[in-house]
Structure 1
Amino acid sequence: MHNRILPSGERRAADAEMARVLRTAPIRIASEPFGGAIAHWKHGALHDVVEPMTDHVVMTYPTGTQRLERRSGRLVALGTARTGVVTIIPAGSSARWDIPGAVDVIQLYLPHRTLERVAVEADMAGVGDLLERTAHPDLITSRLLTSAVEAMDGSAALDALFRQQMTDLLATRVLAAHAGTPARFQPTLGGLSPTALRRAVERLRSDAEADVSLAALASDAGLSRFHFCRAFKESTGLSPHAWLRQHRIEQAMNMLRNTDEYIVSIAAALGYSSQTAFAAAFRKMTGETPRDWRRRMR
């Protein structure tokens, strides 16, 4: 089926259309300045038509099972929402959905321009139409989408960098597994030059207010986002997000060990939204709360 890219006046924002159809608000939604978002919903039974949307919607189901029925003209697709499957609604497509009960779902709203950018950066010939999928087995995409929601650290800079990396990774996966003409990506050979690596590390080590977006890091290195992420990991063994998360926790350890700063002050200095968010991120990395770790070190 051809994915119709409609004039802007005939399309709805994906999150707004989902809110209308699902008759509820998302539990959580995080968007990017240049388009796209990730949202986590829990909704009840659905019997309605989803109108054409601006972005492609890629979704998975972290918990539970539920029957899905999707009708487009005379075509009927049946499936079961469960862990490890994905559903894709291409931009510009429309269908009637009948879902008899409650659903736990994570949705990625993926702008077509993001797919085009990733395709160009990866030296692909072009972007083929995305395939409509209804509860299609794809454990890789399902796990990526689930981690995109679960791995938020409560730090604006860290969370934004993670979403940027995850969106590009998901776009790569969608092009490879869910396009009419599957994409083939050439492996990246070699890491960053010593100068480019030094610049990236300097930016990541800057204060909590510095611009550590993927676009800024890639621009410093003179590379596309696609190639920068792969080259950075080749050089360091970590993604930019994982490197920055580890660096922030190391900074926290030094402050906990060598100063008498309140934990809430350390959290704020490192850019965390709350002491609770900082404590959760610290425990995820170390297995201990900041308070227990400080007590043990002293």
Structure 2
Amino acid sequence: MFKDTQTSTATAVRPKDSLGCLSSQLHKDLELDTGEFKFLRKCTRDDKTSAIDMPGSDRGFLIGVSLKVGHRRRIFSGHRWTAHDFDTGSVYIRDFAEDYRAELQGGFDFLLVELSRAFITNTCYERSGTNTPGLSSVAGRKDPILAHLAQVLALTLDSQSEASPLFVEQLGVTIGTHLLDRYGNAPSQSNQKNRRLSGLHEARAKDMLLAKAQENVSIEEIANACNLSRSYFIRAFRETTDRTPHQWLLERRIDRARDLLKHSDSSLSEIAVACGFSDQSHFTRTFSQMVGTPPGSWRRQVRR
């Protein structure tokens, strides 16, 4: 049975977050909102049992990916309930349009993605020609792809100051596309012929990416300039260049950094800022990963 969250005198109600969890029980509560996508990390302090009771709304869909083992929840529907155990990498999908009542047993650590109904509708129409979107409700099912993406998102939430908006947008589109492929109620047309950008659209996209290399460039803005949806644009850009927009731009930033390291006396911190990195440490990590050696060492080698 559900526990009463009110005091015996009904003088106060313990505060809950936007997903119906008791805020006082959350050890970690992180959020990154991009509009059509919202990424969250919810981790409890202990193994206390708690309840969620939320009426339906038009918020869209919620996808939860468990980052640890040991959580169990009972989901109620009318006078019946079903129990689901969560292992690392287990997922659940919740349609906010439906009333949701559940009893949460044991501690949990979830990476959550909230997708707007507009995003699901637009992506569904683009892929299948239907504007009646939907995702199957699942709970406790293993999904290795979402488990991998959740680990990436967890690191992104922990280092939001270094998170590229371009990269975050691409993650949201990738997750939404995977969800429709695997759990969508409409037929997929993902087996259609691969689509490529026209020469004009490729040049326009690259020019916009480079022009905004030091700003918070938006895929939506670039896709709109090409009269394409975000998900279509990302797939077409990758098919055309063998890179996602984020990967392509990151390579151009590193190319610019190498040129400055070789031909200027600018400090590493100055080069980091000039190439659009959040700080010197972010620049050093990225350069080392992509080039195979730290920028300071690379500069000394090429100047011998």
TM above 0.5, yes or no, is yes
Distance in 1 (alpha carbons) for counterparts of 2:216 and 2:279: 20
Q: Equivalent residue of 1:122, what SS?
A: helix
**Which stretches in structure 1 are left out of the alignment for 5+ residues?**
1-13
CA RMSD, 1 decimal = 2.9
Q: State the identity %.
A: 23
**Structure 1 residues 117 and 55: alpha-carbon distance in aligned structure 2, compared to 1, 3 A threshold:** same
**Structure 1 residues 50 and 252: alpha-carbon distance in aligned structure 2, compared to 1, 3 A threshold:** farther
| TM norm structure 1 | 0.82
Which of 1 and 2 has higher RCO (CA within 8 Å, sep 6+)?
1
Residue 165 (structure 2) aligns with: 160
Residue 140 (structure 1) aligns with: 145
Residue 256 of structure 2, aligned match among 251, 257, 269? 251
Q: Equivalent residue of 1:16, what SS?
A: coil
Residue 235 (structure 2) aligns with: 230
Residue 94 (structure 1) aligns with: 100
Residue 284 (structure 1) aligns with: 289
**Structure 1 residues 187 and 49: alpha-carbon distance in aligned structure 2, compared to 1, 3 A threshold:** same
**Structure 1 residues 41 and 98: alpha-carbon distance in aligned structure 2, compared to 1, 3 A threshold:** closer
CA contact (8 A) 2:31 2:41 kept: yes
1:109 pairs with 2:114: yes
Residue 189 (structure 1) aligns with: 194
CA contact (8 A) 2:162 2:282 kept: no
Residue 16 (structure 1) aligns with: 18
| TM norm structure 2 | 0.81
Larger Rg: 2
Residue 39 (structure 2) aligns with: 38
Q: Equivalent residue of 1:57, what SS?
A: strand
Distance in 2 (alpha carbons) for counterparts of 1:226 and 1:41: 27
Deviation at 1:58, TM superposition (A): 0.6
* Residues 272-293 of structure 1 deviation map (CA, whole Å, 9 limit, x = unaligned): 2222222222222223322233
Residue 81 (structure 1) aligns with: 86
CA contact (8 A) 2:213 2:249 kept: no
Residue 125 (structure 1) aligns with: 130
Q: What count of residue pairs does the alignment treat as equivalent?
A: 282
CA contact (8 A) 1:115 1:127 kept: no
CA contact (8 A) 2:66 2:90 kept: yes
**Structure 1 residues 268 and 18: alpha-carbon distance in aligned structure 2, compared to 1, 3 A threshold:** farther
Distance in 1 (alpha carbons) for counterparts of 2:270 and 2:29: 28
CA contact (8 A) 1:49 1:97 kept: yes
